Amino acid sequence: MDAFIFFLILFFSSTFMGAAAEPNCPVNQCSHGGPKIQFPFQVKGDATKSNHPSGFEVVCKLGDNNKNMTTIHFPSYGDLVVRSISYGDKRLNLLDPKNCVHGVFLNLNLSLTPFRYFYGVKNYTYLNCSSRLPSNSYPEVPCLSGAGHHVYTVETSLGLPDSCRRVKSVAIPFQYSPYISDNSFGLGLSWDNLPGSEDRRLKDKTENSDVAPDKVLSISIFLFAMVVITVIVIKISHSKKMCFEDEEKHLMEVEKLLET
């Protein structure tokens, strides 16, 4: 009984203390279950935020399923959907609403943004060809190809076929592969530490770690009540144990008298 009460108090105390001391960090979301938006990101037009770095503004837009989605605009390409944000890894995972990852790779100029590719990159050349190349050696990029033109990504050192012209050579995470159909694969971006971001995180941690006076009082009352309940339960348990021992002793004495 005593061990059970002890663990019960320990459980409730840790739960209550943890909930009370949890930082009340300012977080926005475009939709339930959507990525959490906090420093350095902010929702565009949020007047309550100030001194946020440029390039980290997101926009809440209504998607095809009538659900708000989180988007971020890139000047060289357009809007991409924010799939998730990992603040610990400084990783921004994106989806292309046009379902053409290589269209993003071809046109995205990250030098105009505070981001870089999360994965390692390698130089590849985009080719635009008037006739199809052998598919076993040159996988075609369907979302960039059309009637009369066929687009491929090849090693930069590869010779130029007669029916092709070079479109652009860019450093991207991977060349096109028909086995990769996910329109988010490779669209992971990262950002570097921002000036003052460490001071900001330290300030937020300090401010949010302070427990409000009313919470301190509530915690104190709760712990005091648990201690009182524990003492009462232990005393009752001890009293019942003593009564049981006295009754057992009395019965033994009666049995001895009967035997004589």
Q: Tell whether pTM > 0.75.
A: no
Residue-level pLDDT at 45: 77
Confidence of residue 230 (pLDDT cuts 50, 70, 90): confident
Would you say 176 and 141 are in contact if contact means Cβ atoms under 8 Å apart?
Answer: yes
Q: At residue 115, what is the residue type? A: F
| Unique residue bearing structure tokens 């999360």 | 118
CA distance 83 to 238: 59
Out of 84-98, 146-160, 190-204, 239-253, which region has the weakest mean confidence (pLDDT)? 239-253
Would you say 140 and 151 are in contact if contact means Cβ atoms under 8 Å apart?
Answer: yes
Q: What is the pLDDT of residues 11-63, one digit of tens each?
A: 444 444 444 433 444 678 898 889 999 999 999 877 665 667 889 999 999 87
- Which residue did the predictor score with more confidence, 229 or 75? 75
Q: What is the pLDDT of residues 209-229, one digit of tens each?
A: 444 555 556 666 766 677 767
Mean pLDDT, rounded, for 119-148: 93
Would you say 247 and 15 are in contact if contact means Cβ atoms under 8 Å apart?
Answer: no
Residue-level pLDDT at 215: 56
Q: At residue 126, what is the residue type? A: Y
Three-class secondary structure of residue 17 per DSSP: helix
CA distance 47 to 57: 12
CA distance 109 to 28: 28
